[in-house]
Structure 1
Amino acid sequence: MKPSLAAGTTRSSRIVVDRARTIDFMGEQARVYATPMLVQDLEIACRELLLEHLDPGEDSVGTRVEIDHLAATLLGMTVELTVSVVETNGRAVVFEFAGTDGIDAICRGRHHRFVVDVAKTAERLAAKAKKAGL
């Protein structure tokens, strides 16, 4: 991990809410940004920020998400997600995030990620797969 990763490092992403990101269980008129897809987009935004500050062979995994999904965002709207590093402790990184759809604040919360060595992680997963008979 590079020393450039520090509290205050921020990144914003703009995402169009497409059909795959919406709920479908309340009918076509209620196709809104699904919370699980919002969480996925936030995890991706945090990971992309981290990747700018990681060394070759490093990546990160999510370990915790705390989210308030505050408002519905309609199919076709654009959201802006802003993620900021608030704490680093060794390989553990904590983010705060906020999102807006241009009309409403749609989310806020915290996300924790852990920086991993990709090769070592692959070894651990292979060993677990072997134990599981996979």
Structure 2
Amino acid sequence: MPRASLQAGITNELTIKTGPEHSARAFFEHLPDVFATPVLSGFMEKVCAELVQKHLEPGEQSVGTAMDLKHLAPTPLGMNVTIKAELSKINGRQLIFRLEAYDEVEKIAEATHYRFIIDVEKFNKRVAEKAAKESN
């Protein structure tokens, strides 16, 4: 099980400078050339995974299982985006996070993210078994 230091209320923050590689147009050419929702979601997952990792025992990792994301405002490329995460609840191996994201002008998003602590060996065995089924 995770270390006792993994408790509700711990926080982490990540700031990124948005660029062309973060554009919604990377997903579909007819979208606006602004910071993409899927990229935002990925960075939200990253800030939570980073927060949890230092509190896990050897042989444990965390995986994302769900996210309820509201992208509230567009961000022009070139602006910094700061994502703030707080571990709000622990249900056994399930972790629930509250997140907010801001660009240089305003709040651009809020989300609830769910992660699950896994045993790496068991997880990798399950993935290998599934891959073997696909190749048959």
> Match for 1:132 among 111, 131, 134?
134
Letter of the structure 1 residue corresponding to residue 120 of structure 2: V
Query: Could you tell me the TM-score, scaled by structure 2's length?
Result: 0.92
Hey, which bits of structure 1, 4+ residues long, moved more than 4 A?
none
Quote the Cα distance in structure 2 between the aligned partners of 1:58 and 1:17: 31
Alignment: residue pair count: 132
Quote the Cα distance in structure 1 between the aligned partners of 2:42 and 2:49: 10
Structure 1 equivalent of residue 14 of structure 2: 13
Percent of pairs identical after alignment?
37
Quote the Cα distance in structure 2 between the aligned partners of 1:71 and 1:26: 18
Letter of the structure 2 residue corresponding to residue 9 of structure 1: I
Deviates more, 1:92-101 or 1:14-23: 14-23
Q: CA RMSD in A?
A: 1.3
- The CA deviation string for residues 49-97 of structure 1, in whole angstroms up to 9 with x for no partner, is 0101111111111111001100111111101100000100111000000
- Alignment gaps of 5+ in structure 2: none
- Alignment gaps of 5+ in structure 1: none
Letter of the structure 1 residue corresponding to residue 62 of structure 2: S
Structure 2 equivalent of residue 41 of structure 1: 43
Quote the Cα distance in structure 2 between the aligned partners of 1:67 and 1:109: 4
